[in-house]
């Protein structure tokens, strides 16, 4: 039987990279990677080529007919484009509709469960893309994954986990007892591989999770496994709402400024997860999602506990390693200049 032909946008990124690994591990797909012309010579793309992956160069901001020609022949298109660039997918959706060969379009979801309509600007950007898919009557599957394990743990006072830290805050929000859906990054691609082979998920939304756990449970687990007393900053519901309001106000004069958007996204994620309690299986079902754990009861996720064990063993990995190094360099430079 011929393999399902998948075209993946974002394979050099965090989520896209995990999706790529999951698809390759599964073995039932012929995977090609869609990259923008300005990235074609990047070392990360060259690295994909050394793995014998086909590279398709296509410009999301160019002529839609050219893009349609480039993506013709693929059964499934998966997009995992960086958060600020969601609307760039509109031309990819148009091109997929023009190509006429796409049996399933998986737009860039991969975030927490939450309703559209003003809760999170990131969700609302994604919804614009979904609406374009529905407008074309394109077959689709939307996959959301909750939040990552890799962004949901706390540092310990000894600093022994710092090798894997991205966000250096140790903040607990609104009392810390809201349970949220978390997926280990490494499970994302394994879930996606199952989802795109499954007729039941066609024209559906699916949420995945490796664990469903609160910040207080995470803190207790880390204290118990390390024997260290965590130093946590407790942020009240009111303070979180104020932070969110300030972040939204800061976005108004410059809505496409990356840093301002990032701060707003963080505040909106936190309010949605910890105050509104959107990111739960019950909310997912209310919003019409299928539950990937019910669809695939034999799936063995990486539990949060296993993730913490790996951190303890020194086997954790920092996401966005390059971005983190660049930020550290910048901070180092600023410090040196200030000295
Ligand atoms: N659930 C969570 O906890 C969580 C955490 C982080 C992210 N996310 C979600 O995951 C999604 C992917 O984010 P990420 O942070 O994983 O991505 P990322 O690491 O920033 O990577 C983005 C990828 O998109 C490509 N790209 C960007 N603009 C493009 C364009 N115009 N045309 C073609 N390719 C383009 C990049 O390649 P080039 O740089 O070469 O263009 C890169 O391969 C986001 O939508 C975000 O909402 C979820």
212-253 pLDDT, tens digit each: 999 999 999 999 999 999 999 999 999 999 999 999 999 999
Is 197 a catalytic site residue?
Answer: no
Give counts: helices (H), strands (E), the chain: 13, 13
Assess whether pLDDT exceeds 90 at residue 334.
no
**Residue 327: what pLDDT?**
81
**Residue 125: what pLDDT?**
97
Mutate to test the pocket of ligand 1, among 40, 81, 93 (most ligand atoms within 8 A of CB): 81
Query: How far is residue 229 CA from its own chain's centroid?
Result: 30
Percentage of residues in the chain having pLDDT higher than 70: 98
* Closest alpha carbon to 172 in 92, 230, 118: 230
Regarding the beta carbon of 15 and ligand 1, being less than 6 Å apart is answered yes
**Residue 330: what pLDDT?**
77
Assess whether pLDDT exceeds 90 at residue 255.
no
Q: In 10 A of CB 325, how many CB atoms?
A: 11
Both tokens assigned to 93: 């959706």
- Angle (CA) 16-98-104 rounded to 5° is 45
Task: Give me the mean pLDDT over the 14-22 stretch.
Answer: 98
State the sign of the Cα–Cα–Cα–Cα dihedral 131, 132, 137, 140: negative
Task: Give me the mean pLDDT over the 165-191 stretch.
Answer: 96
**Residue 168: what pLDDT?**
81
**Residue 303: what pLDDT?**
98
Mutate to test the pocket of ligand 1, among 9, 10, 128, 187 (most ligand atoms within 8 A of CB): 10
Tell me the pairing of strands 179-183 and 211-214.
Answer: antiparallel
Assess whether pLDDT exceeds 50 at residue 338.
no
d(CA 255, CA 249): 10
d(CA 161, CA 308): 10
Taking a C-beta distance cutoff of 8 angstroms, is the pair 14, 44 a contact? no
Task: Give me the mean pLDDT over the 124-142 stretch.
Answer: 98
Q: pLDDT band for 339, please (50, 70, 90 cuts).
A: very low
Assess whether pLDDT exceeds 90 at residue 328.
no
Which protein residue has the closest C-alpha to ligand 1 atom 15? 82
Q: pLDDT band for 323, please (50, 70, 90 cuts).
A: confident
pLDDT in tens, 57-70: 999 999 999 999 99
Atom of ligand 1 nearest to the CA of 45: 40
Assess whether pLDDT exceeds 80 at residue 189.
yes
**Residue 333: what pLDDT?**
61
Helical H segments across the chain, by residue range: 14-26, 43-50, 64-71, 89-99, 121-136, 185-195, 215-226, 237-251, 258-270, 281-286, 292-295, 304-312, 321-338
DSSP state of 279: S
Query: How far is residue 247 CA from its own chain's centroid?
Result: 21
pLDDT-wise least confident of 17-31, 227-241, 314-328:
314-328
């Amino acid at each position: 039987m011929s393999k399902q032909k998948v075209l993946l946008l974002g394979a050099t990124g965090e989520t896209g990279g995990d999706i790529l690994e999951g698809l390759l591990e599964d073995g039932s797909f012929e995977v090609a990677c869609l990259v923008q012309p300005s990235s074609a010579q990047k070392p990360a793309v060259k690295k994909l080529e050394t793995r014998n992956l086909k590279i398709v160069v296509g410009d999301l901001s160019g002529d839609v007919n050219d893009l349609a020609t480039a993506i013709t022949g693929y059964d499934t298109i998966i997009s995992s484009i960086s958060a600020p660039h969601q609307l760039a997918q509109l031309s990819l959706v148009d091109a997929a509709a023009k190509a006429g060969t796409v049996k399933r379009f998986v737009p860039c979801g991969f975030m927490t469960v939450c309703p559209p309509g003003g809760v999170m600007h990131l969700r609302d950007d994604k919804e614009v893309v979904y609406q374009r898919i529905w407008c074309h009557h394109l077959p689709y599957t939307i996959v959301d994954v909750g939040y990552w394990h890799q962004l949901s743990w706390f540092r310990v006072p000894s600093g022994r986990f710092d090798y894997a830290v991205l966000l250096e805050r140790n903040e607990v929000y609104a009392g810390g007892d809201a349970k949220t859906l978390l997926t280990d990054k490494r499970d994302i691609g394994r879930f996606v591989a199952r989802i795109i082979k499954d007729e039941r998920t066609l024209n559906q939304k699916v949420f995945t999770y490796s664990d469903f756990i609160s910040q207080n449970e995470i803190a207790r687990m880390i204290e118990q496994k390390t024997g260290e007393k965590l130093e946590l900053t407790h942020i009240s519901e009111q303070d979180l709402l104020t932070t969110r309001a300030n972040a939204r106000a800061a976005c108004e004069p410059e809505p496409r400024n990356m840093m301002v958007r990032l701060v707003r996204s963080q505040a909106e994620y936190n309010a949605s997860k910890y105050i509104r309690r959107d990111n739960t299986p019950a909310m997912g079902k209310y919003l019409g999602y299928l539950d990937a754990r019910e669809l695939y009861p034999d799936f063995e996720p990486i539990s949060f506990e296993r993730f913490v064990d790996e951190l303890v063993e020194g086997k954790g990995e920092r996401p966005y390693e390059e971005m983190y190094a660049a930020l550290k360099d910048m901070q180092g430079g600023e410090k040196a200049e200030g000295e």
